[in-house]
Structure 1
């Protein structure tokens, strides 16, 4: 399972760099996007599969191949140790529900009722991704089908992701929608006292600031100090330590972009290793914030090298239906996060056609920073973002 996690985490930082060309805040779920694309990859063949495999780093996963499921009369969903088998285990390990911590990932297929899909493809999406096929009438009841998809996503994300498939995003030519939804709600292991939350400036750049409600607490937390680039890293654990938020705070007010340029999965692993992260008494200031973002993934994924799957006439998704007339027309991702005194609530959906001291050190996140939410049990980066401006 570790190799699939590495692949998804590498994909997370690759995609982050492409989104980084935009200004403002960033927030997305690499796990949600990878799960949706993983289902597409099940049906991909030839160059289409090779491109997807490279972009998703599935070629680095033990036992993977460019056309999973196509060997030996198509009787298996994946080769031993391949990405789909590991996805099955990963999804089982991640889903968790109790009173202080909820994390769920769900997948579903919506297929045109008049279209015949290969039973092997349907079997494998169900077996590996727990994705059932829901037959809908895209051809004559397009809006009804769109609303059905959106209602499912909204329910899976506790009402946080609405209207994933916007009006016009599907039409009478739509054959299949692969939907993924991820939802997380967790309480901090050590909550912030609401009485200590005060209005304070958040510096968008060296000359411009806006007032935000700034939370504050003092305690012992894992902290790292990185010299090149110059930044502080703070780990804020959620209840039971199964999940953590990592805040990467540049020393300079305008340093977030420089950190992002140098940020890779390998560096994140190094910076947050036990060698660098040490428990220390810290006085923390972190803003309360809420982000809602929408991304059309087509251009971002094409820029990473996943071109054929979006191109009519070039896409080879014959593992879905036996013919080469399918292509991905749209890949849409919506995300939502709220960070407050109690903890964090985050959701996303993807639709694809060491020192101790008596005085605490202060970490004041009053300027743009990068943040990640990680499942510590699997080491999976579930959400990745940049808080740039209130």
Structure 2
């Protein structure tokens, strides 16, 4: 599978402009790992964290609100914005499949407060389910939901088995699925091999699709922009190509909401004679988002001592232990298929962790000073009681 060094993304229209202020997060990943390809869903991360914010209070709520760029808005307006966005995006284009699903899985030992449950159900259409995290089958139940909502493009988001399941109190999940045919498809007969020019000066073979017309274009002295519509043209893919193979990092470093808006506004009308050569590609990506969110000012939400999620269960207890995202994208002659899942794992503040040796394990008997290993073994069968 070819892995182009450029990052392509499906652009989604929004009702509220502040819901698109998400540049610091993806740019940080691209700058940190410039030799890797990335495919990030700001919308999926925002939806999962937006649900979680309904359980936050005090300085934790303020930090999450600032990180998500909601600029001092009250919770009711924030939820209304998410509700409006869902109503806008789903069924916007009958020729494009776009689905958004949210779910909250909470320990059956605790009952979430009614205002939180009502908020995530009404504003996010969230499915709220109790589950026994101590049951070894719990991860497979949640991951089955992930597979169903992404049409098997993402297999799992919750680790199986869970580490210290007695500490897990909640998973908040968002899943997005997109499948759109180009308004004007590429001709497969025109697809052929070519070189992809990498930032280090080397080249790699890829399969290139070719077409004439059917897209808008624009750009500056530093980059070229093309905009390829899907279906009835409510959705499109905007591709920004630096003129220099080393220009991707400077481009994304300078990108912000204002520059992006100028870039989109600068797109001209469709040019019937312009040619386009675009690689076919498939990409799977995953990462924990903790460090990126911490750098954006959300560190208090990850602090077991300081986090305040008292609007979840009525006490400060839980904190965010991990925010994780997995994505998938496939671009070919017919169009684009893409999926994303973001999970927010909540754990309870508790005493020292309990390590359960309840599965096959390795062990050794050793002398500490010299490091001599006296015995070693592997227990693969159910151990016999002495």
TM-score w.r.t. structure 2 length? 0.82
Deviation per CA, 1:30-74: give whole Å up to 9, x if none: 1110000001111111111111111100126xxx23xx3xxxxxx
Q: Does 1:184 align with 2:197?
A: no
The residue number in structure 1 matching 2:216 is 222
Distance change >3 Å, CA 220–CA 121, structure 1 → 2: closer
Instruction: Classify the secondary structure of the residue corresponding to 2:226.
Output: strand
Consecutive unaligned residues in structure 1, runs of 5 or more: 69-77, 354-390
Instruction: Classify the secondary structure of the residue corresponding to 1:121.
Output: helix
The residue number in structure 1 matching 2:96 is 101
Larger radius of gyration: 2
Deviation per CA, 1:237-260: give whole Å up to 9, x if none: 001001100000001111111111
Q: Distance in 2 between matches of 1:330 and 1:168?
A: 16
What count of residue pairs does the alignment treat as equivalent? 329
Instruction: Give runs of ≥4 in structure 1 deviating > 4 Å.
Output: none
Distance change >3 Å, CA 123–CA 283, structure 1 → 2: same
The residue number in structure 1 matching 2:351 is none
Consecutive unaligned residues in structure 2, runs of 5 or more: 1-12, 346-386
Distance apart, 1:93 and its partner CA:
1.7
The residue number in structure 1 matching 2:146 is 153
Distance apart, 1:5 and its partner CA:
3.7
Give matches, 1:274-293, under 5 Å. Answer: 275-280=266-271, 281-293=273-285
Q: Does 1:9 align with 2:4?
A: no
Distance apart, 1:167 and its partner CA:
3.0
Aligned partners of 2:15 and 2:88 also within 8 Å: no
The residue number in structure 2 matching 1:326 is 318
Distance change >3 Å, CA 147–CA 291, structure 1 → 2: same
Deviation per CA, 1:73-96: give whole Å up to 9, x if none: xxxxx1xxx111111121122112
Give matches, 1:232-243, under 5 Å. Answer: 232-243=224-235
TM-score w.r.t. structure 1 length? 0.81
Deviation per CA, 1:139-198: give whole Å up to 9, x if none: x21x31111111101100010011111235552210010011000000000100000000
Q: Distance in 2 between matches of 1:211 and 1:89?
A: 44
Q: Distance in 1 between matches of 2:331 and 2:16?
A: 25
Q: Distance in 2 between matches of 1:93 and 1:303?
A: 31
The residue number in structure 1 matching 2:375 is none
Aligned partners of 1:108 and 1:133 also within 8 Å: yes
Q: Distance in 1 between matches of 2:166 and 2:339?
A: 29
Give matches, 1:1-390, under 5 Å. Answer: 5-11=16-22, 13-20=23-30, 21-23=32-34, 24-59=36-71, 64-65=73-74, 68=75, 78=76, 82-96=77-91, 100-138=95-133, 140-141=134-135, 143-167=136-160, 171-205=165-199, 207-227=201-221, 230-273=222-265, 275-280=266-271, 281-353=273-345
Aligned partners of 1:224 and 1:232 also within 8 Å: yes
